[in-house]
A and B are shown apart, each in its own frame.
Chain A
Amino acid sequence: GENVEQHPSTLSVQEGDSAVIKCTYSDSASNYFPWYKQELGKRPQLIIDIRSNVGEKKDQRIAVTLNKTAKHFSLHITETQPEDSAVYFCAASTRGNNRLAFGKGNQVVVIP
């Protein structure tokens, strides 16, 4: 089955700097890649997603890039704010099986 890995496990950034989280996946048939933000004790919240027919997608301070050849995708957060502090999960799925395979998560800490 699909195996998704995230790096680094913990990331500390100064407020206003950028944060980048990278994920790799194993199944070349995967074609949907969402990112979720989870604050302590709360539900995973979808923040952005990308499909395999697109190389990059941006939504305000958040962007995701996809490299299908290398089988990795990255989350970019610009102008970080304290409220960006959370655990971020990447995931991958293949159209037809619908299951999301998640990485182990990245703890992002934005230092004021």
Chain B
Amino acid sequence: DTGVSQDPRHKITKRGQNVTFRCDPISEHNRLYWYRQTLGQGPEFLTYFQNEAQLEKSRLLSDRFSAERPKGSFSTLEIQRTEQGDSAMYLCASSPGQGLGTDTQYFGPGTRLTVL
């Protein structure tokens, strides 16, 4: 499968626990994005990387959220001290970042987080 992949697909955790999600972008895509989607809503932008540099963060990304892309390939999104309001689908997307279709974003299957 050469598409964007995410792991795990589902995560159930108790309030106050930390969770970490992983995203593997399409090979050679140098841009990687994280979005959050709640039921009945469109995806909301959280943050974006150009290679290993985190270039933009939404105000939705509180201090409890941190994202990394250490080698410019896969990325991780960590949520510390989870709250029930963090329950959502966390989507990752990647785009080529150069050439034709530079800004076309392809989404992964998402990680569904449930905080009890």
Contacts and interface: CB of A to CB of B under 8 A. Distances in A.
Nearest to B50: A98
B40 A32 contact: no
A98 B103 contact: yes
Contact of A32 (B4, B41, B42, B103): B103
Contacts, number: 55
Interface string B41-66: 11111001000000110100000000
How extensive is the interface on chain A, given as a class? 20 to 34
B109 interface: yes
B42 A105 contact: yes
Interface string A85-96: 000010101010
B107 A89 contact: no
Interface of B: 4, 31, 33, 35, 40-45, 48, 55-56, 58, 91, 95, 103-110
Interface of A: 4, 32, 34, 36, 42-46, 49, 89, 91, 93, 95, 97-105
